[in-house]
């Protein structure tokens, strides 16, 4: 029976993986909604507590929960509307100016490439290599046009994502309303069936995700604000647009901040001067070092505890499945996969226990060791002796 349960569990895991891969775009919306619900959950819980404490009409817990969710979601929608009304024109002006500066960027890039071509020609490189480089140089215009159209298409997709935004809001309302109750009922069900291992795994995963998202929003927001002030002081144009970009890519560990810094340096190099590009690069690199070596370790601590190589692998896999949005959740998924793999390895290295016994164990409980070979051999000799005596 235990073997049958193991096969059923394996089949369920395989079906879940196929489902995630097949409906990857839908899963991205659900993951984003769950993440936002975790971020808003403390505010909803606080509003619910205040309503239960100070309002006579809202003494009923379910009624207070509904009103708390409605209040927080209205505040979020109001903040989004105010933000769009105040920030969107500013960002739109910066995006329009950035697209208008593409010819200037092209001229600056052509000058650098011409200088590079002269240096390479002076090195007497093979004709085949020189011809290949010249073909790349001649396609610079097409590259810049593709980049401009990429920005325009991204804006068009953002405008057509109103339906996704409505779906995300509806999902957040459901998650905020029933999320804690569903988690509690699921945990009680698992504990009642003595599936302590799974219950602890889900409880720890929820705690890791919640803590990581809250801390990362705080860290990335502070870094984006400092980057905006620094780029304005240095003289980098479109500082607000680049600060928003740095805020988003900062959720992608290791890779995101480097890509954002390279984009800012390249823009300053092509449109302003080498001095400004060097100053912006030094400033952003120092800011990244402050975040990576001081703020992130102190604030995030060891909530994830995953090696950098495994995080990069998770980033690549999530990008393949869900695109850039998937990379935002790669770190927490890597932490959950690490916990799952640790459980699997612990079970495989202790063949003396069944999967049922293993799932009934709690985290932190020492796994029982199988009987020593000497004891088994001694028991066999004792049985043989008793048999010969009889």
Query: According to the model, what pLDDT value does residue 56 have?
Result: 65
Residues 6+ apart with CB under 8 A from 48: 61, 64, 65, 68
pLDDT in tens, the chain (390 residues): 456 766 777 788 788 778 777 776 677 677 778 777 877 887 888 888 888 777 666 667 777 888 888 888 888 888 878 877 777 777 777 777 777 777 777 777 777 767 776 776 677 766 666 666 666 666 655 665 565 555 556 555 555 556 677 777 888 888 888 777 777 787 777 777 777 777 778 777 777 777 777 788 888 888 999 999 999 899 888 888 889 888 988 888 778 888 888 888 888 888 888 888 899 999 999 998 888 777 776 666 566 677 777 777 888 888 777 777 677 777 778 888 888 888 878 777 777 777 777 777 776 666 665 555 554 444 444 444 444 444
Question: What is the spatial distance between Cα 198 and Cα 209, in angstroms, rounded to a whole number?
Answer: 16
**Pair 197, 257: CB distance under 8 Å:** no
Question: What is the spatial distance between Cα 113 and Cα 140, in angstroms, rounded to a whole number?
Answer: 10
Q: 278: buried, middle or exposed (CB in 10 Å: 19+, 13-18, 0-12)?
A: middle
Distances, alpha carbon 7 to alpha carbons 14, 69, 305, 352, 366, in Å:
11, 41, 30, 19, 26
| 94 token code pair | 């910066």
pTM of the model: 0.64
Helix axes 140-159, 61-100, angle to 10 degrees: 150
Question: What is the spatial distance between Cα 69 and Cα 178, in angstroms, rounded to a whole number?
Answer: 10
Helix (H, G, I), strand (E, B) or coil at 273: coil
Q: Which residue has the tokens 């569990």?
A: 9
Helix (H, G, I), strand (E, B) or coil at 253: coil
| 138 token code pair | 């001649």
Query: According to the model, what pLDDT value does residue 15 have?
Result: 83
Helix (H, G, I), strand (E, B) or coil at 251: coil
Query: According to the model, what pLDDT value does residue 228 have?
Result: 92
- State the sign of the Cα–Cα–Cα–Cα dihedral 45, 50, 52, 55: negative
Nearest residue to 237 (alpha-carbon basis) of 85, 100, 84, 107: 100
């Amino acid at each position: 029976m235990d073997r049958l349960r193991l096969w059923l569990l394996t089949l369920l895991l395989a079906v879940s993986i196929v489902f995630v891969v097949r409906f990857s775009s839908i899963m991205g919306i659900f993951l984003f909604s769950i993440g936002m619900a975790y971020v808003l959950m403390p505010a909803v819980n606080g509003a619910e507590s205040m309503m239960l404490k100070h309002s006579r009409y809202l003494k009923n817990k379910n009624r207070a929960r509904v009103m708390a969710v409605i209040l927080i979601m209205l505040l979020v929608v109001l903040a989004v509307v105010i933000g769009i009304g105040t920030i969107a024109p500013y960002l739109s002006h910066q995006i329009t100016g950035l697209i208008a500066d593409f010819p200037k960027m092209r001229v600056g890039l052509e000058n650098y490439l011409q200088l590079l071509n002269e240096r390479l020609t002076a090195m007497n490189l093979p004709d085949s290599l020189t011809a290949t480089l010249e073909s790349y140089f001649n396609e610079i215009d097409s590259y810049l046009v593709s980049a401009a159209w990429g920005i325009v298409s991204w804006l068009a997709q953002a405008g057509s994502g109103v339906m996704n935004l409505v779906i995300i809001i509806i999902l957040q309302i459901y998650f905020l309303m029933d999320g804690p109750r569903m988690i509690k009922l699921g945990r009680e069900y698992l504990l009642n069936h003595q599936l302590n291992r799974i219950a602890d795994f889900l409880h720890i995963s929820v705690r890791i995700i919640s803590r990581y998202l809250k801390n990362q929003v705080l860290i990335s927001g502070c870094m984006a604000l400092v980057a905006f002030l620094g780029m304005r002081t240095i003289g980098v144009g479109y500082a607000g647009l680049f600060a928003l970009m740095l805020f988003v890519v900062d959720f992608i560990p290791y890779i995101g901040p480097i890509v954002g810094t390279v984009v800012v340096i390249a823009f300053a190099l092509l449109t302003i001067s080498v001095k400004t590009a060097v100053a912006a690069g030094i400033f952003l690199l120092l800011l990244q070092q402050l975040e990576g070596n001081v703020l992130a370790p102190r604030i995030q601590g060891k909530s994830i505890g995953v090696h950098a190589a495994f995080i990069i692998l998770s980033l690549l896999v999530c990008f393949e499945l869900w695109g850039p949005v998937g990379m935002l959740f790669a770190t927490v998924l890597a932490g959950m996969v690490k916990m799952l793999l640790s459980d699997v390895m612990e079970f495989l290295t202790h063949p003396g226990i069944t999967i049922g016994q293993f799932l009934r164990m709690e985290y932190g409980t020492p796994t029982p060791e199988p009987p020593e070979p000497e004891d088994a051999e001694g028991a066999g000799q004792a049985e043989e002796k008793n048999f010969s005596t009889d």
